[in-house]
Structure 1
Amino acid sequence: MTHPHGTPNAGQVTLSLVVPVFNEEDSLDGFLLRIQQVFEREALIDLELVFVNDGSTDATLERLLQRQQSDSRLRIVDLSRNFGKEAALSAGLHTASGQIVVPIDVDLQDPPEVILQMIERWREGFEVVLGHRISRRSDTWAKQTSAHWFYRLHNRIAEQPLPEDVGDFRLMDRCVVDALLTLPESRRFMKGLFAWVGFRTTHVEYERPERVTGKSKFNGWRLWNFALEGITSFSTEPLRVWTYLGALVSLVSFAFAMFIVVRTLIYGIDLPGYASLMVAVTFLGGLQLIGIGVLGEYLGRTYIEAKRRPVFLVRRIYDPKD
Structure 2
Amino acid sequence: MVYKAAEERYDNLPARRMGDTGMILPSLSLGFWKNMGGEQPLSKSREVILNAFDNGIFSFDNAASYSSGAAEETFGHVFEKDLKAHRNELVVTTKAGFHVWPGPFGEFSSKKTFVGALDLSLQRMHLDYVDIFYAHRWDPHTNLRETAETMDLMVRQGKALYVGVSNYTTEQFNAIAPIFAELGTPFVGNQVSYNMLNRNAETTGIVDAVGSHNKGLVAYGPLAEGLLSDRYLAGIPADMPIHWSSKYIFDNGTENIHAKIVGLNEIAQQRGQKLSQMALAWLLKDPRVGSVIIGASQTKHLLENIKMSENMDFSNEELNLITEILNK
Normalising by the residue count of structure 2, what TM-score does the alignment of the two structures yield?
0.28
TM-score (norm 1): 0.29
Relative contact order (C-alpha < 8 Å, sep 6+): which is higher? Answer: 1
Larger Rg: 1
